[in-house]
Each structure stands twice: as structure tokens, then as C-alpha cells.
Amino acid sequence: MLNEAIILAGGFGTRLSSVVEDVPKPMAPVNGKPFLHYLFQQLAKTDITRVILAIHHKREVITDFFGDSYLGIEVKYSVEEYALGTGGGIRQALTKCKGEQAIVLNGDSLIDLNLANFTEQFDGSSAPMSMALRYMEDVSRYGAVETEGNILTEFKEKGQQKGAGYINSGVYLIQKEYFLNHTPEGNFSMETEFLEPTSRLGVIHTFPSNDYFIDIGIPSDYERAQDEFKRFEDR
């Protein structure tokens, strides 16, 4: 049973610094609660019982708030002594997972995905990884993808493509052994150094979605979250 999740919460949040100065981006308050609260709230409704938080920038703010347990979920930390990037952060956190697979979420974005369905599809395949996709009218701000059926065939980093299409939502299901065997230690980019080359191998599955999605990486979307996250209150 898949019961572990990794949340990437080590970024600097440079683009958000004009409105959120003294906490790391995943701790930016939304309606009085840190953004990470809503990710834990989402995971608490699943079989996830253990979360590894990948932390670096102002990490004490995160550890002081979440401690060893939050919303009934055990909390562990993957402390990055230097910034490991999205790929390196995932790799180090995976080494702290007890099981053979884990769900991975970005600490500054949320997709209101049916995680049970996502997991069920992944369990029924032999794929080393599955990526949740989200349809967007303009993909230029995000990593755009091309697929054949439910197989990822091409990944393009931010700004390489414009117009409507599917993007990488930042939610993955990963087989630990495969990822550890196909990635380097240290700092590397999940997007350019793993997803781009691996997409051409035809081994990554995808899970397309039109569910609610938001990335608070820029001030306008962070402000939008204050109103839109009312949907998650008392859920």
C-alpha cells in the first residue's frame, strides 16, 4: 500500500518575496493558515500516513510549525544543507522513505486531484513513474507535455511552448528504486535533467485532469488563493 508522500518545500520563493518576506514560500499564509496546511489536508483524506518534507530555506519555520505530526500524519524531514534543486530534493527525500514508492507534491502548488484514482491507475501499471497533468488555456508559464495515450512522449520546460494544452501539475507517483538508479546525487533539475530525457523513453505514465489547480509562485495567484481556498475550509 502506498502510504508515504514527499512535499518539496525547500525553495526560496524569489518571485513572491514582495508580498511574503519572512517565511518560506510553502508557509505563505492563505486565510490564516500556511499553504502547506492545505496539502496536508488533502493527504489526510487518503491512505497517506507519513510525509517527508524536503526543506532548506528558512527551514526552522516549517519544522517549528509541523513538528513530528500534523493532522494525524507522521512528519519527517529531509534537510538540504545546500539547495538540491527539484530533482535532488526528491532523490534525497526518497532515501528516507520506508516503502518502494511515494507520491510527490510541490509545496507551492495544489491540484484538487482524486489521489485515490491516481494511485489506483499507477498500481495497475508497471510504470516507474506517473505524472498528474492539468489542462490549461496557456501552457507558457508551466512545463508543457505531449502524450500518446497515457504515455508521456515529450516534456518542454517553462516558456518553450504557448497556447492550450496539458501541463505538469507537479504531482508524481515514483518507484523509488528506478529513480535512485537513474539520477545523480546532489543538485539537479527534475524537469530538465530527468523529465525531458526520460520522456523520450516512453516509460512515464500520465493522469490527465481538469481539476482545480493553483500555483502561488507569483503575487497575483497568491492573492487569488485567498478567495479561492475558501472551498477547502472545513472539508
Question: What whole-number distance in Å separates Cα of residue 31 and Cα of residue 229?
Answer: 8
Residue located via cell numbers 499553504: 35
Number of folded domains that form the chain: 1
Residue 116 has pLDDT above 70, yes or no: yes
Closest to 205 (Cα-Cα) out of 127, 153, 143, 139: 127
Asked if the structure places residue 201 within a domain, the reply is no
Asked if the structure places residue 158 within a domain, the reply is no
Residue 4, Cβ density class (10 Å: 0-12 exposed, 13-18 middle, ≥19 buried): buried
Asked if the structure places residue 198 within a domain, the reply is no
Asked if the structure places residue 196 within a domain, the reply is no
Asked if the structure places residue 143 within a domain, the reply is no
Amino acid 234: pLDDT? 58
Amino acid 205: pLDDT? 95
Asked if the structure places residue 139 within a domain, the reply is no
Please report, as a single letter, which amino acid is at residue 2.
Answer: L
Domain that holds residue 75: 4-132+169-185+213-232
What tens digit of pLDDT does each residue of 69-108 get? 999 999 999 999 999 999 999 999 999 999 999 999 999 9
DSSP 41: H
Residue 126 has pLDDT above 90, yes or no: no
What tens digit of pLDDT does each residue of 164-211 get? 999 999 999 999 999 999 999 999 999 999 999 999 999 999 999 999
Question: What whole-number distance in Å separates Cα of residue 161 and Cα of residue 18?
Answer: 28
Closest to 92 (Cα-Cα) out of 72, 110, 78, 71: 78
C-alpha cell at 184: 545523480
Distances (CA, A) of 41 to 38, 199, 232: 5, 31, 9
CA dihedral 116, 121, 127, 133 (to 10 degrees): -80
Task: Give the Cβ contact number of residue 30 at 10 Å.
Answer: 22
Amino acid 20: pLDDT? 75
Asked if the structure places residue 144 within a domain, the reply is no
Residue 13 has pLDDT above 70, yes or no: no
**pLDDT exceeding 90 applies to what percent of the chain?**
76
C-alpha cell at 235: 472539508
Please report, as a single letter, which amino acid is at residue 13.
Answer: G
Helix 59-66 and helix 35-43, axial crossing angle in degrees, nearest 10: 50
Question: In this structure, are residues 124 and 196 in contact, taking their beta carbons and an 8 Å threshold?
Answer: no
**pLDDT exceeding 70 applies to what percent of the chain?**
96
pLDDT band at 128 (very low <50, low <70, confident <90, very high): very high
CATH number at residue 119: 3.90.550.10
Asked if the structure places residue 146 within a domain, the reply is no
